[in-house]
Amino acid sequence: MRYIITQGQLHSIVYSFLDEKFSDSNGKKIVNPHNPVAYRIGLGEPGGETINYYYYGAGEFDDSEFGMEPRRHYGVGHLHIHPDIVDTIRIMISIRETKVVDIITDWFSEKFDVDVDEVSIFPKRGKTPVY
């Protein structure tokens, strides 16, 4: 059986799910010791279902200690969402993956007052999602 819900109700359901799922995560900003204008906000336990945000401030940064050439960053925020979180919500509500990713991005952006410029499902899925 299918039900029709408003966009506000959809956001409310997903926001409530995410708030509950990450209620133990404080989402503290961790500054990169090698780049003082870069930071990370992580939710969830490492190795588990996580949402991670990485911000690289504008400027050129030396990544040579990691064996990389210096790069120029342009003040970009990246959001990495674990695929199991996306699949759980998608199956629970029966909506397309891109819509779930958009709602999670909106939730994170509002909750932590950050701009999300790029989003990816990370790590890559080990199996094909069930549709």
Strands (E), 14-126: 29-32, 35-43, 51-56, 59-61, 71-73, 76-81, 118-121
The answer to whether 51 touches 100, Cβ cutoff 8 Å, is: no
Q: What is the pLDDT of residues 69-111, one digit of tens each?
A: 776 778 899 999 999 999 999 999 989 999 999 999 999 999 9
- Does the bond joining 36 to the residue before it have cis omega, within 30 degrees of 0? no
Task: Give the integer Cα–Cα distance in Å for 50 and 60.
Answer: 29
Strands (E), 20-113: 29-32, 35-43, 51-56, 59-61, 71-73, 76-81
Q: What is the pLDDT of residues 23-36, one digit of tens each?
A: 988 888 999 887 78
Q: What is the pLDDT of residues 121-130, one digit of tens each?
A: 999 887 777 6
The whole-number pLDDT of residue 13 equals: 96
Please tell me the number of Cα atoms within 13 Å of 98 on its side-chain side. 0
